[in-house]
Amino acid sequence: MTTQSQLISLPSRLPRLLNRLSKRLLNVTAPLLGIGVFLLLWSAAAANIETSLGSFPGPQAVFQQFGQLWQEHSDEQVREQAFYERQEERNAARLAEDPNYEVRIRDFNGRPTFISQIGTSLITVLSGFLLASAIAIPLGILIGLNQFVYMAANPIIQVLKPVSPLAWLPLVTIVVSAVYVSDDPMFEKSFVTSVITVTLCSLWPTLLNTAVGVASIESDFNNISRVLKLKSLTHVRKIVLPASVPMIFTGLRLSIGIAWMVLIAAEMLAQNPGLGKFVWDEFQNGSSESLSRILAAVLVIGLVGFLLDRAMLWLQKAASWDKSQVLR
């Protein structure tokens, strides 16, 4: 029997090996090929589109634009450093003249660059997403645990869920200006508006998935909890929460995708600092370089969205106990 299986396995293993090798090769070449074709189509199409701002930029122009955007950013940084050095020198000189002089440090008021706008958008989206999760997960657990709460909340959720960020934004802006008044605000108003808009739009997938995850916990797990007479809070912590981790993460991943899309739209519409505002400013600017700068922003927006999704996937894999769940 052994010899027979060996006889079969030798020739049958070779094609399998080749198969695996070619699969791995395919994993590398297929995406590269896709990107190549895309770039070719883009160049070809770009050359044929004449706009009021000149010809549509191809990959090359956008690539060069990235260099320029980086250059602008470093220039701005040099200027900032120079500003503070000058200020320090001046203050030191005054202090030498008059020891009682009260030193005042003024902030550098530079133009936000492309790079700093990326940072702003990232911080905003993460804040909005964290706030959304902090609301959606506990609420989802409550809804999933209690049929009555579910029935009470369901109509409201179903109606609020599909509301576009563009509809929320004016409301949020006005309410924030009215309610969020303080002499020394911890956050900019525009930041608060963006964060709240992102939260309102992105909490729904997490909320619903958490609720479904909690409601569909295996009855055996609940029975164990009952036999052990676990207290409600322990029951949530030890059984409900871990059991619904896979569903919660499914929701979180959808949420962060929505959060990022909503944020860019909100920044454009409300002129709140961030990548969206960068795009809008360039659109208003209408110089010969605007198109390539916008395209650069579009690529970065896509890339950041992709990276956010990957980060969530990574977190999901790290937190998931269900190794049989296919994650991609």
Partner 1 sequence: MEHTLLELSQVGIEFPTENGPFCAVQDINLKVKKGEFISLIGHSGCGKSTVLNMVAGLNRATRGGVVMHGKEVTEPGPERAVVFQNHSLLPWLTAYQNIELAVKTVFKSTMSKGEMKEWIHHNLNLVHMTHAADKRPSEISGGMKQRVGIARALAMKPEILLMDEPFGALDALTRAHLQDSVMEIQEQLNNTIIMITHDVDEAVLLSDRIVMMTNGPAATIGEILTVDLPRPRNRIAMAESTDYYQLRSQVLSFLYEKHSKIEPLKKERHKSNRPEAVVSEAS
* Residues forming the site for partner 1 (CB under 8 A): 218, 220-221, 223-224, 226-230, 234, 238-239, 242-243, 245, 321-324
Least Å distance, CB 230 to partner 1, is 6
Q: CB 2 → partner 1: shortest distance, Å?
A: 23
The alpha carbon of residue 21 and the mean position of all alpha carbons in its chain are separated, in whole angstroms, by: 35
Q: How far is the CB of 243 from partner 1 (least distance, A)?
A: 8
Instruction: Please answer whether residues 283 and 292 qualify as being in contact, where contact means their C-beta atoms are separated by less than 8 angstroms.
Output: no
CB of 220 to partner 1, least distance (A): 4
State the number of CA atoms in the 13 A half-sphere of 22 facing the CB. 6
**Which lies closer to partner 1 via its Cβ, residue 129 or residue 249?**
249
Complex with partner 1: residue 20 or 226, whichever CB lies closer: 226
Are 266 and 192 within 8 A, CB to CB? no
CB-wise, 212 or 224, nearer to partner 1?
224
Nearer to partner 1, 235 or 293 (CB): 235
Least distance to partner 1 from the beta carbon of 25, Å? 32
Query: By C-alpha distance, which of 31, 32, 197, 16 is closest to 124?
Result: 197
Angle subtended by helix axes 241-270 and 275-285, to nearest 10:
20
Question: Cα 277–279–282 angle (5° rounding)?
Answer: 105
Q: How far is CA 154 from CA 249, 253, 316, in A?
A: 21, 22, 27
Give the nearer residue to partner 1 in terms of CB position, either 114 or 249.
249
Q: Which is nearer to partner 1, 189 or 238 (CB)?
A: 238
The H or E element spanning position 224 is helix 219-227
Class of residue 56 by CB neighbours under 10 A (exposed 0-12, middle 13-18, buried 19+) = middle
Residue 318 half-sphere exposure toward CB, CA atoms < 13 A: 6
Q: How far is the CB of 249 from partner 1 (least distance, A)?
A: 13
**Closest CB to partner 1 among residues 132, 141:** 141
Q: Closer to partner 1 by CB, 243 or 300: give it.
A: 243
Give the helix/strand (H/E) hosting 55: strand 54-55
Residue 246 CB, nearest distance to partner 1 (Å)?
A: 10
Q: Which tokens hold the place of 40?
A: 């070719």
As measured in angstroms, the least distance from the Cβ of 219 to partner 1 is: 9
Q: Do residues 276 and 121 lie in contact, with contact meaning Cβ atoms separated by under 8 Å?
A: yes
What letters, b where the CB count within 10 A reaches 16 and e where it falls short, cover 177-215? eeeeeeeeeeeeebbbbbbbbbbbbbbbbbbbbbbbbbb
Of the pair 239, 268, the CB lying nearest partner 1 is at 239
Q: Please enumerate in sequence order all residues whose Cβ is within 8 A of that of 161, keeping only pairs 6 or more positions apart, or say none.
A: 204, 208
| Nearest distance in Å: CB 242, partner 1 | 4
